Structure 1
Amino acid sequence: MGIFSRFQDIINANINSLLDRAEDPEKMIRMMIQEMEETLIEVRTTSAKVIADKKTLERRMMALQKDAKDWESKAEMAITKGREDLARAALTEQAAAEETLELAHSELDAIEAHLDDLNSEVSQLQHKLDDAKAKQKSMLAREQTTRSRLEIRRRFNRDKLNEAFEKFERYERKMDDMEAEVESYDLGSKDLAEEIADLERDEKIDQALAKLKAQMNKKESGDQ
């Protein structure tokens, strides 16, 4: 089991505190960096899947838009042939396609919100990882410095400075806690509207049919 088990554990982790309590801070910081890098890969993998889902949904929406236009064209043709019954049926299919398209728009909004959250997570993880790597470099530099100073003190047998120097050997002094929280999000999809009553649907189709006839009559008048 790693040092961190969840994304938020990493974000909320106080690296300085963990290193202060560690028996081997150098080993601990290496383990932290490895865990953060693995988590970052997981979040980016999830982001890639969500992006793919978004592209699939966008293709589906384009198909729905095309279907709606095709049904409208079929309704126009049916009217020219004197088949209002077929025109009504075509307009009904057009309305169904447009209703499905509206639901797809809602789903797309949810996906985009999810992507925003994932982008925020990647940014926070990267910041935490950069901080850990900076601490690792600082620890190595301090180790080299302390070894050099220790050698000098041993050479000059400055016993009175040993106690103070032991404190300096600590890899990290406590710094201000750096905490960040992942903004909670709720990507739940919206509830579907209740099914439209038959009478209301017929009225909507009648209006669409009348509008279409008027457009066609106007077009024919303009051609003459």
Structure 2
Amino acid sequence: MGIFSRFTDIVNSNINAILDKAEDPEKMVRLIIQEMEDTLVEVRSASAKTIASKKEISASINKIQSESKDWKSKAELAISKEREDLARAALQEKKKCDEQVQILTTELSVVDEQIAKLQNEVGQLQDKLADAKARQKAIILRQKTVSSRLEVKKSLDSGKVDAAMGRFEQYERKIDDLESQVDAYDLGKKTLADEFAELESDDDIDNELAALKKTMQSKSSDSNK
């Protein structure tokens, strides 16, 4: 069956290996999940048909078994009426019924095996589908993160960042030059604070000079005595 072949490929596939070969992991994840969901619908549909076939076979078996019992009753009636010819004919019909029952019973066993396999495969697919959905967000997030990192790496390797930093340093040097020019304009100019500071400095020197003169005059007077 084509359904089971494709289903087995999905169940046995390594999702990570598929993603490694994918150009767009996000798209591949969605496709894988969609494929699983579609296959699950098909397998469930096939399972429903198989179960319906089982019911038909079981109904046929019950009907034929009932006919077999009826032919047996007729054979017994014929014997009681001393009609061995009719009894033999009835037993032949009963034999045909029993053979049909045997064939249908064998067919029913095959159908039961198919149903069991279907149920097992549906369970496997449901587990795979649940796992894929649980990992979908993480895989997509990883893909976006790696893509962003790759873009950063490309920018670094292309020299764009170094070029930008070089321009930044040029601007810094230009600002330094402007600041130096501003400082040069102010060089040699006295501010009001500078004027007062000089006055205060002159007063200090005058006071110190007067004190020094007074000290020397005192020493000179003492030596003349």
TM-score per shorter chain, which class? 0.5 to 0.7
| 1:81 paired residue number | 81
| 2:90 paired residue number | 90
Q: CA deviation at 1:24?
A: 1.6
Letter in 1 for 2:7: F
Cα shift readout 1:1-59 (whole Å, capped 9, x = no counterpart): xxxx8222212211112222222211110111001100111111111111010000000
Superposition map of 1:23-42 within 5 A: 23-42=23-42
Which has the bigger relative contact order, CA under 8 A and spacing at least 6? 1
Letter in 2 for 1:7: F
| 2:120 paired residue number | 120
Superposition map of 1:1-224 within 5 A: 6-140=6-140, 142=142, 146=145
| 1:215 paired residue number | none
Cα shift readout 1:77-105 (whole Å, capped 9, x = no counterpart): 11222211101111111111112111111
Question: Structure 2: where are the runs of 5+ without partners?
Answer: 157-225
Return the TM-score normalized by structure 2.
Answer: 0.59
Return the TM-score normalized by structure 1.
Answer: 0.60
Cα shift readout 1:125-182 (whole Å, capped 9, x = no counterpart): 11111111111032355578x59x98xxx9xxxx8xxxxxxxxxxxxxxxxxxxxxxx
Taking the aligned partners of 2:59 and 2:17, their CA distance within structure 1 comes to 49
Percent of matched pairs sharing the same residue:
52
Taking the aligned partners of 1:10 and 1:23, their CA distance within structure 2 comes to 19
Question: Structure 1: where are the runs of 5+ without partners?
Answer: 160-224
Taking the aligned partners of 1:140 and 1:10, their CA distance within structure 2 comes to 20
Taking the aligned partners of 2:22 and 2:143, their CA distance within structure 1 comes to 16
Letter in 2 for 1:89: A
Q: How many residues align?
A: 146
